[in-house]
Amino acid sequence: MKLAERMGRIGTETAFEAAARARALEATGRSVIHLEIGEPDFDTPANIRDAAKRALDRGATHYTPTPGIPELRAAIASDATARKGFAVTPDRVVVVPGGKPVMFFAVLALVDEGDEVIYPDPGFPIYESMARYVGGRAVPCPIRQEKGFRLDPDELASLVTPRTRLVILNSPANPTGGVSTREDLERIAAIAREHDFTILADEIYGRILYEGEHVSIASLPDMAERTIVLDGFSKTYAMTGWRLGYAILPEALVTPFSRLIVNSVSCTNAATQWAGVEALTGPQDSVDAMVAEFKTRRDLIVDGLNSIPGVSCVRPAGAFYAFPDISATGLTGAELADRLLNEGGVSALAGTAFGQVGRYHLRFSYATSRENIAEAVRRTRAVIEPLVEARRGGTVR
């Protein structure tokens, strides 16, 4: 069958493939610790699950309005107004099945063939995939460990051209855990105003933050009218399987997004939307408890990794990933990820799953138990130590 030419340009998210590979190894009887997939290991809180059950029993089994039920749009608007530092009205909120569709729709709505999309490298792989899929030019902006994994506004400015249409930001970031400061964002906002491009601000990890404040670039002067805020329920409320996310949009994009929704999914699952209302308006203590636990785990994994010779790991301020530099092992992240899985029974992702800048990194998701983290560090040490010793001794294994 002849596929459309654009299908040759679409990428993928390797986390799902790595998880399948790890499960296949497990099926042969091997013990594998899963640090590859980016989802909270906690269950969705009971009050949220109960709200969905009640909604189903009440008959929330039909189509909903395309941009979402009014109750959820209102709840998102008031939550975002309180947390993101700018006034969000319900008419600017569109509800979609997960955070990912916001990327898809933003790119479809804004990017013509040959337009440039600047995205973080390393960064979530779907940014580049979508930009290339629609015929745009995907321009990586390097995110460097020596800059604490914060996107450097000067480096961004050097990449902007008259064809720059969209700049994608992600803070706190996957896969690095890097967090942009207010000052960084002010400088990026100034570049956006000067060169008149739109920003897609992926804030899906906005509440999984251990130090500092979460700043939305949309809260800076005039920026709400040129920023698409992507957020959702997957990470904050441990709701990855529910598929519930949203965009906060400049006025000019509300109708285009609604068109894209009606042309693709019609609307988001009705009962899931009621679960979202409960998530935002109900008690928040399970979010606080989850973030506190992630922080403990972060310290466990970062200290553990840094105690392994040849591994250098920044302590991330947000999200639930560690992104160590493993160049001293003499292997690339991809080579080491293979060895870790096959020799050590630890499933991590190669940094290149997130772009070329991550060539000598691994990504470990620490959304797993403390016991698993401790054991994963032990196994990782057992694989890496001999490699580093062999190099120091002048013999390369």
Q: What are the distances in angstroms from CA 22 to CA 39, 318, 355?
A: 16, 26, 22
Closer residue to ligand PLP in complex, CB, 119/360 = 119
* Least distance from ligand PLP to the Cβ atom of residue 312, Å: 23
Tell the smallest beta-carbon distance from residue 292 to ligand PLP (Å): 21
257: contact with ligand PLP by CB under 6 A = no
Site pattern 163..182 for ligand PLP (x: CB under 6 A): -------x---x--------
Shortest distance, position 202 Cβ to ligand PLP, whole Å: 5
Considering beta carbons, is residue 107 or 384 the nearer one to ligand PLP?
107
What is the DSSP secondary structure assignment for residue 64, as one 8-state letter? -
Contact status: 351 vs ligand PLP (CB under 6 A): no
Among 40, 67, 99, 345, binds ligand PLP (CB under 6 A): 99
Residue of 40, 46, 47, 43 whose CA lies nearest to 282: 47
Q: What residue is closest to ligand PLP based on CB?
A: 98
Q: Which residue in the set 22, 36, 38, 305 belongs to the binding site for ligand PLP (CB under 6 A)?
A: 38
Choose, by CB under 6 A, the member of 14, 44, 64, 234 that binds ligand PLP.
234
Give yes or no for residue 204 binding ligand PLP (CB under 6 A).
Answer: yes
The separation between CA 134 and the C-alpha centre of its own chain, rounded to angstroms, equals 21
140/232 with CB nearer ligand PLP: 232
SS3 content of the chain, % helix, strand, coil (to 5): 50, 15, 40
Task: Give the separation between CA 210 and CA 79, rounded to whole angstroms.
Answer: 20
Query: Applying CB under 6 A, which of residues 40, 67, 68, 98 lies at the interface with ligand PLP?
Result: 98
**Residue 157 CB contacts under 8 Å (≥ 6 apart), including other chains:** 191
Nearest residue to 217 via CA among 85, 110, 105, 96: 85
Nearest distance, CB of residue 106 and ligand PLP, angstroms? 12
Contact 229, 83 (CB under 8 A): no
* Interface of this chain with ligand PLP, residues 120 to 159, rule: CB under 6 A: 124
CA distance readout (Å), 200 to 17, 66, 99, 135, 216:
26, 21, 12, 18, 11
CB-nearer residue toward ligand PLP: 37 or 384: 37
How far, in Å, CA of 139 to CA of 115, rounded? Answer: 10
Residues 353-362: b if buried by 16+ CB within 10 A, e if exposed = bbbebbebbb
Minimum Å gap between C-beta 84 and ligand PLP is: 16
User: Which residues here bind ligand PLP, judged by CB under 6 A?
Assistant: 38, 98-100, 124, 170, 174, 202, 204, 232, 234, 240, 245
